[in-house]
Amino acid sequence: MHGPVSTAWLLVALCAVTGAYCLLRMRSAVEEQRRAAGGEALMGFGMAAMAVPAAVFTPPRWAWPVYAAVFGAAAVRALWTARGAPHHLHHLVGSAAMVYMAAAMAASPPAAHHVHGGTGVPVLTGALLLYFTGYVLLSGARLVPAAPGGAAGPARWGDRPELARACRLSMGIGMVAMLLTM
């Protein structure tokens, strides 16, 4: 990731914590929630690894095609899952964005990893930025409760829908930040 080192470390922390919470959500009793949490954990940890400042660690050239393959497989899985549940299309877009960023990093010369800009296709980057910005705004609006209401009882940490939404919101914000630096 390009940009200030302190910003990159904040993004690494945000994505790693989000990935860790998604692992916790995988312990849910609800199968659909477990499945979605697994993909989101992969996305969170993948984004954290990709956001590590190049000044600290520059992955070897072979790492980017591996990233593209892993997230390509995640995109195929999301496409398969979206057949029955269209809300999984967001996972498809997120995985495809990770494939795109990994491919852009693989195609860029090693010196370009340390300077801002110049990687990726501007039109595709812009389209992804529009999508994720809209997603962040919509997710943020969904976090605001419509009316005060009492919960039926204390929910387990992995089964709290507001935390799952906050997790998705933070990953969307992270994706916007990563796309802005391309």
Which DSSP symbol is given to 117? Answer: S
Question: Under 8 Å CB-to-CB from 12, ≥6 apart: which residues?
Answer: 48, 51, 52
Q: CA 158, CA 34: separation in Å to the nearest integer? A: 9
Q: What does pTM read for this prediction?
A: 0.84
Q: CA 90, CA 134: separation in Å to the nearest integer? A: 12
Residues found in the chain:
182
Mean pLDDT over all residues of the chain? 84
Q: What is the pLDDT of residues 136-173, one digit of tens each?
A: 999 999 887 755 555 555 556 556 777 888 889 999 99
Q: What is the pLDDT of residues 67-118, one digit of tens each?
A: 999 999 999 999 998 888 887 899 999 999 999 999 998 887 765 544 445 5
Helix crossing, 161-180 with 89-107: angle to 10°? Answer: 30
